[in-house]
Amino acid sequence: MIFKQRNIGTFFGTVKLIISSVTPYAGWISLALVGIMSFYTTIYPLFSSWGIEMQFWVFVIVITLIVVIIAIIEWVFLLPSYYEANNIQVWEHGSPFRTKLEDLEKDLAKIKGKLGIDD
């Protein structure tokens, strides 16, 4: 059974777009707060018990470097692979874009034939 889609206006779609746009910023705020909490409740006491007095600014630099390295790995390796895999899935599995493009190619071939243009 296929459920019929309903047009309920743009309110819920707008709310979803706004929430999805705000979520990354909330994630960064959460990361900062969890990092601060982790430093004072776990990292600092652990390192102090080993006789190492780690300053908070050193911890911030280390965490920042970790995030930057993860971002570089994501940009260089994972994101291109994601888009390539997504494009293959969209192209090979009944994409309406593929059907439309193939129709346009047929129309273009007919027009070129009528104009006497060879590829």
Same domain, 48 and 60: no
Same domain, 3 and 48: yes
Entry pTM? 0.61
Domain that holds residue 116: 56-119
Q: Structural domain tally of the chain?
A: 2
> In the structure encoding, which two tokens stand for residue 69, read together?
């390295």
Residue 39: CB atoms within 10 Å: 19
Same domain, 41 and 19: yes
> In the structure encoding, which two tokens stand for residue 16, read together?
């979803």
Per-residue pLDDT at 53? 92
Per-residue pLDDT at 1? 64
Compute the distance between CA of residue 96 and CA of residue 102 in angstroms, rounded to an integer: 10
Q: Where a domain ends, among 54, 69, 85? A: 54
> In the structure encoding, which two tokens stand for residue 91, read together?
């192209």
Greater confidence (76 vs 1) lies with: 76
* Interval 67-79: pLDDT, tens: 999 999 999 999 9
Compute the distance between CA of residue 49 and CA of residue 42 in angstroms, rounded to an integer: 11
Same domain, 117 and 62: yes
Per-residue pLDDT at 94? 75
Dihedrals φ, ψ of 55, to 5°?
-80, 155
* Interval 45-64: pLDDT, tens: 999 999 999 999 999 999 99
